[in-house]
Amino acid sequence: MGENLLLRQRMAEQGLLQVDLVRLMNDHVAAHSGALGTFSERMVHNLLTGKTRSPQTKTRAALEAVFGCTSEELGFTPRPGAKRPDPPEARVLRRQFLSIAPAAAAAAGIPGLSSRPSGVSTSDVDRLRAGLRALAELDNERGGHQELERAALAGAEAATRLQERPASQRVRSALYAVTADYTATAAWSCVDARRFDQAQPYLDRALALAGLAGDSTGQFRLWNATALMAYQQRRYPLALAAAQAAQSCGVVRRDPFFAALAHVRVAVGHAALHDRQAALRSLGHANDALARVGDEAPRPSWTAFFGAPELHGLTGIIHEHLGEYAQAESACHRSLAGTPARFRRNIAMVMARMALAQLHQEEIEAACATAVQAHGLMGSDPLPGRLRSLLGDFHRGLIKVAPDSRETLEWRETIRNIEESRRP
């Protein structure tokens, strides 16, 4: 027997007490099975002291979800006869990190990589930021999913390990900022997948790191994600408050790009609370700010989604909340006309919104055709939680408006076939 120092070290790196780990593991069980988790502090104590060296499968899965690594990397022995091949996507993401961030990987103690000088330089931080670009592209294509979350946590861990090495104050602040960005990516993946209980601790941790870095852009990102999460939960007053917190970040005063995004998030919050005048006023501010955007310094990779097409898409949401469905549909058309194909998840979301707007106008045939397109756009990939929820809203609305129509029957059959084709 003997104390599990690897697990204790991982907990210390993430600032987790035993009670925090219990909560996160139980949140994982609830998010994936719908059942209440039964992990306890006594169980975590046994894991830390070495009394439990080969935990059960459910415990392993929860630990791996929390820390973003295998249970063996947490100091546990494999269960007899267990075979644990990495899923193909996990191997691809791991190769991406080993190729774009070798210094960070070496700092994380990955065997087989040559050691680097003891100090940390801006080039090390730049390699980590390259990893963020790769994850942003994956998110734009597939949306939030567990392997994206794990890869983001691996990047955060690599950045955390680099913090242990000597660095100038400027580089150290940059390390805190990039760690916050990786953690924010994990949080966003959970928000997009509608795994809100898992997203919240990531958001809290990332916000603290961004504060240590003095990074107002990172703080903006996190308030923006918080506003989106609250909106998904239909906690509209909180969504508005978070959007207004983003609006107060220093980067908004410096860059009209972020001002435009902040104003339109505030507009969505007002619209969801049925304050038409405030919503349209903020939407006007968003359009004015976006018109002032020029060739400023490069922005973080996560911001690539926002521009005129995304603003049109958010405008559609505002008009939908205000009951102006023809205007909502028109805004969605303008969004789809300008959104690049690489933003596949966003295109599917706008299509689903447009289908809802058409349904509200009782254009049943057009609405079903649009919703089928949105459902099928993700191909063989599972639907991100946000998209699945939105299409669920469409399905329930269709059953309410036209339960026995030919289009409804065809919609049900088509979606059944698409879902069956996605099953392994």
User: pLDDT tens digits for 308-358?
Assistant: 999 999 999 999 999 999 999 999 999 999 999 989 999 999 999 999 999
CA torsion, ordered 68, 73, 74, 77, to nearest 10 deg:
130
Longest dimension (CA), the chain: 70
The domain segmentation of the chain, as residue ranges, is 5-75, 114-196+204-214, 342-424
Q: Among the residues of 322-363, which ranges form H helices?
A: 325-338, 344-360
The Cβ of residue 189 has, within 10 Å, a number of other Cβ atoms equal to 29
Which one has a higher pLDDT value, 23 or 368? 368
235-239, 362-366, 379-383: least confidently modelled range: 379-383
Separation between Cα atoms, residue 273 and residue 144, nearest integer Å: 27
Model pLDDT for residues 106-126, shown as the tens digit of each residue: 433 333 333 444 577 788 888
Structure tokens given for 5: 């120092």
Q: Is 345 exposed, middle or buried (0-12, 13-18, 19+ CB in 10 A)?
A: buried
- Confidence class for position 172, pLDDT limits 50, 70, 90: confident
Topology at the third CATH level for domain 5-75: 434 Repressor (Amino-terminal Domain) (1.10.260)
Contact 52, 15 (CB under 8 A): no
- Confidence class for position 78, pLDDT limits 50, 70, 90: confident
